[in-house]
């Protein structure tokens, strides 16, 4: 299960692929009956897929400023009674999420200022970008409060080449391995002020020098 914003971003990405396939299906069929299926066969069919999600639970770690989620049976508004297999032939769950800020997620610009676009106002191609992943796992093992530095970015570029303009840069810290469904441990994790991040210098470098 993905957090709301992340799910929306994935939906945008999937929708863009569907739209692209639909828009090109006619002409692609004339040139190549496989169309975009060739891309799937050659690049995606045998690719390695890594699941980065965590299941949403009432006890998942979340910043104390937002509070926990609440799960309950979905109620029939006509009777105010929960749906049941025996009476209605199905059951459903109602989720009250205190925020969309659960784990890894993509903030739309509107998260920071009302005049900026929401996730539904961004073009579908916004979700289809080159991805750069910079690891600070080793540094975090020695310093849990470590923040990505410009030197880490330059080290990555020496090994992999210059970060492409317009790409998405993500920082791997492996902090997700602390994820727990234990209520007490989740509270401790949510209240812990020590966690990895990204330095202001690194952010400025990525945006102003690499135009990510």
Looking at per-residue pLDDT, the higher value among 69 and 1 belongs to 69
Q: Count Cα atoms within 13 angstroms, Cβ side, for 82.
A: 11
Confidence at residue 17, expressed as pLDDT on a 0 to 100 scale: 47
Confidence at residue 155, expressed as pLDDT on a 0 to 100 scale: 98
> How many residues does the structure list for the chain?
212
pTM exceeds 0.85 for this model: no
Residues in CB range of 113: below 8 A, 6 or more apart: none
Q: What percent of the chain has pLDDT over 90?
A: 47
Confidence at residue 152, expressed as pLDDT on a 0 to 100 scale: 98
Q: Taking all residues of the chain, what is their mean pLDDT, rounded to a whole number? A: 82
What pLDDT, in 10s, does the model give residues 138-177?
999 999 999 999 999 999 999 999 999 999 999 999 988 8
Count Cβ atoms below 10 Å from residue 15 Cβ, excluding itself: 12
Q: Cα(91)–Cα(93) distance, rounded to whole angstroms?
A: 7
Q: Give the CA distances from residue 42 to residues 17, 31, 36, 47, in Å, rounded to whole numbers and listed in that order.
A: 16, 17, 10, 9
Residues in CB range of 34: below 8 A, 6 or more apart: 41
Residues 153 and 163: beta-carbon distance below 8 Å: yes
Confidence at residue 103, expressed as pLDDT on a 0 to 100 scale: 63
Per-residue confidence at 79, pLDDT binned at 50, 70, 90? Answer: very high
Per-residue confidence at 13, pLDDT binned at 50, 70, 90? Answer: very low
Q: With 50 as the cut, is the pLDDT of residue 14 above it?
A: no
What pLDDT, in 10s, does the model give residues 25-70?
455 444 556 688 888 899 889 999 988 777 888 888 777 788 788 9
Any alpha helices (H) in the chain, and if so which ranges? 4-31, 37-39, 85-88, 137-142, 150-160, 183-191, 200-204
What pLDDT, in 10s, does the model give residues 98-126?
887 776 667 788 988 999 998 889 888 87
């Amino acid at each position: 299960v993905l957090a709301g914003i992340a799910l929306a971003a994935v939906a945008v990405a999937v929708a863009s692929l569907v739209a692209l396939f639909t828009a090109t299906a006619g002409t692609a069929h004339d040139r190549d009956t496989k169309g975009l299926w060739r891309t799937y066969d050659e690049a995606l069919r045998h690719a390695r897929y890594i699941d980065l999600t965590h299941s949403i639970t009432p006890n998942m770690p979340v910043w104390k400023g937002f509070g926990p989620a609440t799960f309950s049976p979905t109620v029939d508004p006509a009777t105010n009674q929960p749906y049941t297999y025996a009476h209605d032939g199905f059951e459903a769950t109602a989720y009250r999420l205190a925020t969309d800020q659960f784990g890894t997620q993509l903030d739309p610009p509107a998260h920071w200022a009302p005049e900026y676009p929401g996730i539904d106002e961004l073009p579908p191609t916004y979700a289809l970008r080159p991805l750069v992943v910079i690891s600070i796992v080793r540094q975090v093992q020695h310093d849990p409060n470590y923040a990505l530095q410009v030197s880490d970015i330059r080290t990555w570029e020496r090994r992999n080449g210059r970060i492409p303009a317009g790409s998405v840069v993500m920082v791997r810290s492996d902090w997700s391995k602390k994820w727990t469904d234990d209520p007490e441990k989740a509270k401790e994790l949510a209240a812990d002020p020590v966690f990895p991040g990204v330095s202001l210098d690194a952010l400025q470098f990525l945006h102003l020098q690499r135009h990510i």
